[in-house]
Amino acid sequence: MNSLRILMVASEIVPFSKTGGLADVVGALPRALEALGHDVTLVTPRYYVVDKKKWELEDLSGSLSVPMGALGAYDCSILRGTLPKSKVSSYFVEHDAFYGSRTGLYGTEEEPFSDNDHRFLFLSRAALELCKKIFFKPDVIHVHDWHAACIPALIKTKFADDPFFAGCPTVLTIHNLRHQGICDRDFMSKFEIGWEHFQPEGVEFFGHVNVLKAGIVFSDAVTTVSPTYSKEIQTAEFGEGLEGVLRNRVSDLTGILNGADYEIWNPATDTAITANFSRLSMDGKETCKKSLQEEFQLAVDPTVPLFGFVGRIDEQKGVHLIADAIADLSDLGVQVILLGTGDKTLQDRLRDLSADKSDSFACRLAFDSGLAQRIYAGSDFFLMPSFFEPCGLGQMYSMRYGSIPIVRSTGGLHDTVTDFVTETKKGTGFTFRGKEGRDLLEAVKRALEVYRDQDLMKVLVGNAMSKKFTWESSAQGYLDVYRSLTGDSDG
Ligand code: ADP
């Protein structure tokens, strides 16, 4: 079997930077590919949060000149590190004005940085120039989300006659179709792919440039992070205006379910939680629940069912369903805790609700990885009523930590959580389809029936904790895609 050289470009990578699941994926997939004998090189920005000392990043000598079309060339430095627990080379594009001097990665949901298109075109161009500088000639280029989606278009146009990248296929993974990188037509002058591509069959989208669309049109293969989402995005309901473009690429479109990185997400070894536990020794989970109730100033009572939520406070995540159901949940005598940041109006509503129902509902409006782990570990149930969910990682982590997922059956949630059936004692959670608070509430009531029967609950928790979503099998899926493009089928 030939080993492949894979260039991966992404805007966030665990453990260096993270705002969501994309970072988890790009932090884990390269290690899984390396374990299967492949050579992955990562390129990502050096944001303010990327700690040079902690990750022992070293400066590559000499600056890199990055052409930006009509704007001329910009210089940047390159730092080199290694993805922890691997030998994967990780290169950081260092440019203070674009990345290093700003506290966030993208700005906020309401106010994204106004030059994000420019910043990520820069990342894309820098990644290609860097390959030449370090003589890394990839067999495949794998880009993630709109932030790196200029690359497939550049490879097929601007770099078409460049022998360095000759014949190099590109793969685009869509982690969330909602974010597309839509920018003014002026972008074309920096993009340098040729104005002939500014048309509906190309990168144009209602008079603007759509960077994700460019990636879909020009990449050799498109993947998304679950089989169900790969079908959903071909429909008007989930396609975010790109369903037609995706349908045109249907023969090159694959859904590959994400894995969970069990080296990090393991209650038996997790150092962020109060007490460790495993399927065969569950005492620690009770301790975690107690300390979580204390941390959120709720009544400390092991018999009260505790429901958790961790995620972006966003319409996508169905947070308003939880808000709508809080009064009824409170009447059911349960406790609900929520961790997240995002939409200001929703945050205000949650804050008001927690003041109103302080006995049963508490929230922390922050991004806090340690607390997220403590919620997975300490809660009995995990709420994920997403309206759409490309894959979703929270439900996978919660299962591992014995917190039973209650999910809207969409996208990756549909592919990973099966309804628990009392008679057969099979299933790992509770699913529902409706879009109202009362639909969530019905699922919660089914969950509570099982909770009241502690023997049954033990079976359900055991089912969930034994469920494994390994990165090895996801990596195999990506290798199949890579090999279908490199023409090497003996993998
Ligand atoms: P998405 O990528 O759409 O935000 P995922 O479920 O795929 O959703 O991944 C979310 C990841 O981000 C998980 O690792 C989750 O634990 C983490 N996360 C989300 N919100 C927070 C938060 N407020 N604090 C800490 N971790 C968070």
Strand partners, 253: 222
For residue 370, report the distance from its CA to the centre of ligand 1, in Å. 12
For residue 273, report the distance from its CA to the centre of ligand 1, in Å. 17
pLDDT of residue 368 exceeding 80, the answer is yes
pLDDT of residue 175 exceeding 50, the answer is yes
Mean pLDDT of the chain: 97
313-349 pLDDT tens trace = 999 999 999 999 999 999 999 999 999 999 999 999 9
For residue 310, report the distance from its CA to the centre of ligand 1, in Å. 7
219-252 pLDDT tens trace = 999 999 999 999 999 999 999 999 999 999 999 9
For residue 450, report the distance from its CA to the centre of ligand 1, in Å. 27
DSSP letter, residue 424 = T
Residue of 369, 375, 383, 396 best suited for mutating to test ligand 1, as the one with most atoms within 8 Å of CB: 369
Structure tokens at 228: 């169900």
Q: How far apart are CA 179 and CA 257, in angstroms?
A: 20
For residue 140, report the distance from its CA to the centre of ligand 1, in Å. 28
Q: How far apart are CA 310 and CA 305, in angstroms?
A: 17
Mean pLDDT of 468-480: 97
Segments in 222-318 forming alpha helices (H): 227-232, 243-248, 283-295
Residue of 393, 397, 398, 469 best suited for mutating to test ligand 1, as the one with most atoms within 8 Å of CB: 393
What is the residue with the minimal CA distance to atom 4 of ligand 1? 20
What is the residue with the minimal CA distance to atom 2 of ligand 1? 21
pLDDT of residue 491 exceeding 60, the answer is no
For residue 208, report the distance from its CA to the centre of ligand 1, in Å. 30
0.85 cut: is pTM over it?
A: yes
Residue of 13, 14, 144, 310 best suited for mutating to test ligand 1, as the one with most atoms within 8 Å of CB: 310
For residue 258, report the distance from its CA to the centre of ligand 1, in Å. 14
Whether omega before 67 lies within 30 degrees of 0, making that bond cis, reads no
For residue 340, report the distance from its CA to the centre of ligand 1, in Å. 8
Letter string b/e over residues 144-180, b meaning 16 or more CB atoms within 10 A of that residue's CB: bbbbbbbbbbbbbbbbeeeeebeebbbbbbbbbbebb
- The contacts of residue 386 (CB under 8 Å, 6+ apart) are 316, 317, 318, 392, 407, 408, 410, 411, 413
Mean pLDDT of 391-411: 98
Q: Could you give the 3-state DSSP secondary structure of residue 143?
A: strand
Length of the chain: 491
Structure tokens at 158: 């601007």
For residue 390, report the distance from its CA to the centre of ligand 1, in Å. 13
What is the residue with the minimal CA distance to atom 17 of ligand 1? 20
Whether the Cβ atoms of residue 442 and residue 231 lie closer than 8 Å to each other? no
Q: Which atom of ligand 1 is nearest to the CA of 391?
A: 7
Mean pLDDT of 195-204: 98
- The continuous run of DSSP H or E covering 477 comes out as helix 471-486
Name the nearest CA neighbour of 401 among 275, 250, 223, 312.
275
With tokens 């109103």, the residue in question is: 356
Structure tokens at 154: 């550049």
For residue 409, report the distance from its CA to the centre of ligand 1, in Å. 18
Residue of 24, 265, 313 best suited for mutating to test ligand 1, as the one with most atoms within 8 Å of CB: 24
Gyration radius of the chain's alpha carbons: 23
Q: Which atom of ligand 1 is nearest to the CA of 175?
A: 2
Whether the Cβ atoms of residue 82 and residue 89 lie closer than 8 Å to each other? yes
For residue 68, report the distance from its CA to the centre of ligand 1, in Å. 33
Q: How far apart are CA 8 and CA 142, in angstroms?
A: 5
pLDDT of residue 109 exceeding 90, the answer is no
The pLDDT value recorded for residue 441 is 98
With tokens 């982690």, the residue in question is: 175
For residue 267, report the distance from its CA to the centre of ligand 1, in Å. 18
Q: Which atom of ligand 1 is nearest to the CA of 340?
A: 23
pLDDT of residue 490 exceeding 80, the answer is no
The pLDDT value recorded for residue 488 is 74
Structure tokens at 174: 């869509």
Instruction: Please give all residues whose beta carbon lies within 6 A of any atom in ligand 1, as ranges.
Output: 20-22, 24, 176, 310-312, 339-341, 367-369, 372, 391-394
What is the residue with the minimal CA distance to atom 9 of ligand 1? 21
Q: How confident is the model at residue 1 (pLDDT cuts 50, 70, 90)?
A: low
What is the residue with the minimal CA distance to atom 22 of ligand 1? 367
247-293 pLDDT tens trace = 999 999 999 999 999 999 999 999 999 999 999 999 999 999 999 99
Q: Which atom of ligand 1 is nearest to the CA of 339?
A: 23
Whether the Cβ atoms of residue 252 and residue 245 lie closer than 8 Å to each other? no
Give DSSP secondary structure letters for 151-179. Answer: HHHHHHTTTTT-GGGTT--EEEEES-TT-
Mean pLDDT of 363-369: 97
Q: How confident is the model at residue 2 (pLDDT cuts 50, 70, 90)?
A: confident
The pLDDT value recorded for residue 30 is 98
Give the Cα-Cα-Cα angle 62, 64, 69 (nearest 5 degrees). 155
32-79 pLDDT tens trace = 999 999 999 999 999 999 999 999 999 998 999 999 999 999 999 999
Q: How far apart are CA 404 and CA 447, in angstroms?
A: 9
